[in-house]
């Protein structure tokens, strides 16, 4: 893009509209070569989320690198080492908003050695943008990105076929890539919401503004797609799960006998007067109140942070889970988990780790590596007893205390866990319960 | 299912409350870093909500550079009294007196960098194992890579290239003796989110955020407040202007905005129309392209 003055338009946020906006978290996977940084820069620039001092800095940097082009990729520059090496090392979070939605982007590097970053960025995302360079078509990297998005349970995939300008916006190129990708997704995740958009991040075609170069494409632009993807059903509102986070006992005159169980509802809906069961004690009681600082609620749902009080005085502490008698999670010490390994110190069979699941922390013993996945061909490799950094594998483990679990595909909160090294205390693995 | 839907501000609030409770549950001696600025005032509000009807289970820590706006200190003391909270003050002047740091000299002398030493000394003195801060990822490029639970080694340093991965909402606060964590409950908030939340929740702010007349001078494109310890360069002159603060640091590094905004609604309109970032007015960030990254590595807020 030729350097030009930024459009100094007011973004037009009235407070009323602002109080009614939704949040969409999405992740972007792709390498510098795919134009990922340019695409994010384009989204931020065309949605007028870039401020003048940031733009001035990018203009200066663009000139330093030669040419009168405004290098939008520089808008996403991060740490000094990244600037020097022109790479992304870590997940970077970026923010922009339109009058409809606020967006959180988890910007992750796409190379194979950064699988752990992609998994991290994908863990909280509602949507994933996967970039394909139109000149290269669907590659192993595309398979890897799509597979991880599927594995992490991201409900919406947006496949951006980029650099269409270099191929004269040829419809056939787009159609072929789409067919190739669908062949793959049919194998990996049927029933997902997958959309395809032909774009040029460099020139802005179909990113924020519809392109006149693609009359054959009748779908929405990327921004319109991001604004309209339905997100309300992304939270599990079916199975009520309330991991107890922290117990409040004011012991003040006014709240003498108050005992409140705080937490963020993991899934489902709870009502005042609901009959509930507390795990692991299995004591039953009734919800006396659902309290917040702003007053009691008649009902509360995921992902609200609330305080629950019960009609009966039972011993409950952090790590317990409040559920309903007719809809219980599985209580077990033996779990099968898809693990993404994140540490240079390998996972080994018979080793012990701390395991954090919801608000519960236990220890676990690695019993067996059932198979390791070749992430490019999706082949299962058996016979391994260790996992290296960025490996993805099905692992059997046994815990010291029971966990209250759901399959990750049904519940991204009660189906997920992390492993912590007992010696270094580092987070070394991410797990999705099968 | 449309009724079971949170607006984005409600979702951010819920996330912030969750982080506050996670701190109380995972750490033995947490502290909330309170600067008197809007972000730390929002933190106090979230802490209040997280533990109600019990009081906030940790003290507030203010690192006082000795160059604070008087209004900020008055506001701080009033807030502490109203909440019946415990306040600890770490004094940069004391660090200077005891020789822990050496005062900068020259026109751009600031105690901003010195604060880091006072902060780390205070954390060590009280054996705090988690310090809750109001940092936001949208503020600055080095902050964009910050975790909710950010590990600091025994020297209080941040190693941005070797951070613990943070997945879902499973925060790992395990640490060795002498190490601590910085925790950022409003990581995902933008400047606009903070202002809209303050308006929605009707949160009180120090009056320097609203328009007032003040003696100021102009340096390198930024309006700064005149004060006895602010040395003027030849050609700089003090004048009276109607200004307000967009962010509040100490006087030496807080750029003032020429503004007549005297309500939250006015401020929000002004911010929606402004085309300069919040930290664009921060003198402390102008020192180099990686000024924030360098300070953060050393243990800055």
Q: B146 to chain A, minimum CA–CA distance in Å?
A: 8
ipTM above 0.95, yes or no: no
Cis ω before A280 (30° cut-off from 0):
yes
Whether A263 sits inside 8 A of B21 (CB atoms) is yes
Give the A:B interface size as CB pairs under 8 Å. 195
Nearest-by-Cβ selection for A18 from B48, B161, B196? B196
pLDDT along chain A (434 residues), means of 10: 37 65 88 77 79 70 65 65 62 86 86 78 92 90 86 92 94 94 76 89 91 95 93 85 96 88 97 97 97 96 96 95 97 96 94 97 97 86 92 96 96 97 95 96
Within chain B, which residue ranges are assigned CATH 3.40.50.620? 8-193+290-298
Top pLDDT among B236 and A420 is at A420
Nearest-by-Cβ selection for A80 from B25, B274, B290? B290
Model confidence pLDDT, tens digit, residues A265-323: 999 999 999 999 999 999 999 999 999 999 999 999 999 999 999 999 999 999 999 99
Closest CA to A166 of A199, A196, A140: A199
Residue of B nearest to A9 (CA): B273
Q: B92 to chain A, minimum CA–CA distance in Å?
A: 29
Top pLDDT among B52 and B284 is at B52
Mean pLDDT for B143-170 is 86
Mean pLDDT for B19-42 is 95
Q: A264 to chain B, minimum CA–CA distance in Å?
A: 6
Whether A318 sits inside 8 A of B25 (CB atoms) is yes
For domain B8-193+290-298, give its CATH number from 3.40.50.1370, 3.40.50.720, 3.40.50.620, 3.40.47.10: 3.40.50.620
Q: Residue B3: CB partners within 8 Å, gap ≥ 6?
A: none
CA–CA dist A294, B52 (Å, integer)? 10
Q: What domains can you pick out in chain A, each with its CATH number? A: 19-233 (3.40.50.300), 241-323 (2.40.30.10), 330-433 (2.40.30.10)
- Residue B90 and residue B142 in contact, taking contact as beta carbons nearer than 8 Å: no
pLDDT > 70: percent of chain B: 93
Tell me which chain B residues have a C-beta less than 8 angstroms from the C-beta of A227.
Answer: none
Whether B199 sits inside 8 A of A15 (CB atoms) is yes
Q: A337 to chain B, minimum CA–CA distance in Å?
A: 15
Tell me which chain A residues have a C-beta less than 8 angstroms from the C-beta of B24.
Answer: 246
Instruction: Name the DSSP class of A411.
Output: -
For an interface test with A, the pick among B2, B7, B8 (most A C-beta atoms closer than 10 Å) comes out as B8
CA–CA dist B207, A195 (Å, integer)? 50
């Amino acid at each position: 893009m030729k350097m030009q003055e930024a459009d100094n338009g007011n973004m037009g946020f009235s407070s009323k509209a602002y109080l009614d906006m939704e949040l969409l978290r999405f992740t972007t996977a792709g390498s510098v070569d795919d134009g990922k940084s340019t695409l994010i820069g384009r989204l931020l620039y065309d949605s007028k989320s870039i401020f003048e001092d940031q733009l001035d800095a990018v203009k200066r940097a663009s000139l330093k690198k030669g040419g009168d082009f405004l290098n939008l990729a520089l808008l996403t520059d991060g740490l000094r080492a990244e600037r020097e090496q022109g790479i992304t090392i870590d997940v970077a979070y970026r923010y922009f908003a339109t009058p409809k939605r606020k967006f959180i982007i988890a910007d992750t590097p796409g190379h194979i050695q950064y699988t752990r970053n992609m998994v991290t960025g994908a863990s909280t995302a509602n949507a994933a943008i996967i970039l394909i360079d139109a000149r290269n078509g669907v590659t192993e990297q595309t398979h890897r990105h799509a597979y991880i998005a599927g594995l992490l349970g991201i409900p919406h995939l947006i496949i951006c076929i980029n650099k269409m300008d270099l191929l004269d916006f040829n419809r056939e190129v787009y159609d072929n890539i789409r067919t190739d990708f669908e062949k793959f997704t049919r194998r990996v995740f049927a029933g997902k919401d997958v959309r395809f958009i032909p774009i040029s991040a460099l020139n802005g075609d179909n990113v924020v503004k519809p392109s006149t170069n693609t009359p054959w494409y009748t779908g929405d632009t990327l921004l319109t797609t991001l604004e309209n993807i339905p997100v309300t059903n992304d939270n599990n509102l079916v199975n009520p799960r309330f991991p107890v986070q922290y117990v409040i006992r004011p012991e003040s005159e006014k709240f003498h006998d108050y005992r409140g169980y705080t937490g963020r509802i993991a899934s489902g809906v709870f009502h005042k007067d609901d009959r509930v069961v507390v795990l692991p004690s299995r004591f039953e009681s009734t919800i006396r109140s659902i309290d917040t600082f702003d007053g009691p609620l008649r009902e509360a749902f995921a992902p609200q942070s609330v305080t629950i009080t019960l009609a009966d005085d039972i011993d409950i502490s952090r790590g317990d889970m409040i559920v309903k008698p007719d809809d219980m999670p599985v209580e077990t010490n033996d779990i099968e988990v898809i693990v993404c390994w994140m540490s240079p110190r390998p996972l080994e069979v018979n080793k012990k780790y701390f395991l954090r699941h919801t608000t519960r922390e236990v220890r676990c013993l690695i019993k067996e590596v059932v198979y390791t996945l070749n992430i490019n061909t999706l082949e299962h490799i058996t016979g391994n007893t260790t996992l290296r950094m960025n490996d993805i594998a099905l692992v059997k483990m046994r815990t010291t205390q029971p966990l209250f679990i759901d399959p990750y595909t049904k519940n991204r909160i009660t189906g997920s866990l992390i492993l912590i090294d007992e010696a270094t205390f580092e987070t070394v693995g991410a797990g999705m319960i099968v | 299912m449309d009724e079971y839907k949170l607006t984005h501000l409600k979702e951010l609030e819920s996330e912030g409350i969750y982080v506050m409770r996670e701190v109380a549950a995972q750490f033995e001696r947490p502290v909330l870093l309170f600067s008197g600025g809007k972000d730390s005032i929002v933190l106090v509000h979230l802490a209040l909500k997280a533990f109600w009807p019990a009081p906030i289970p940790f003290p507030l820590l203010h690192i006082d550079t000795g160059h604070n706006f008087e209004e900020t200190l008055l506001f701080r003391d009033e807030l502490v009294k109203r909440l019946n909270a415990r306040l600890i003050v770490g004094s940069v002047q004391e660090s200077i007196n005891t020789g822990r740091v050496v005062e900068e000299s020259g026109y751009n002398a600031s105690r901003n960098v010195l604060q880091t030493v006072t902060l780390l000394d205070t954390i060590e003195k009280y054996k705090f194992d988690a310090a809750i801060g109001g940092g936001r990822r949208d503020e600055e490029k080095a902050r964009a890579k910050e975790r909710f639970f950010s590990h600091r080694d025994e020297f209080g340093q941040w190693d941005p290239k070797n951070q613990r991965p943070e997945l879902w909402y499973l925060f790992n606060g395990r640490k060795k003796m002498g190490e601590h964590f910085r925790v950022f409950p409003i990581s995902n908030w933008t400047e606009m989110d903070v202002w809209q939340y303050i308006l929605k929740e009707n949160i009180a702010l120090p009056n320097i955020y609203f328009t007032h007349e003040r003696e100021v001078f102009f340096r390198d494109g930024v309006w700064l407040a005149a004060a006895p310890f602010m040395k003027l360069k030849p050609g700089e002159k003090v004048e009276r202007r109607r200004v307000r603060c967009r962010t509040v640091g100490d006087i030496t590094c807080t750029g003032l905005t020429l503004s007549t905004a005297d309500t939250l609604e006015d401020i929000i309109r002004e911010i929606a129309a402004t085309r300069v970032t919040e930290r664009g007015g921060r003198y402390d960030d102008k020192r180099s392209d990686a000024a924030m990254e360098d300070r953060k590595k050393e243990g800055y807020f």
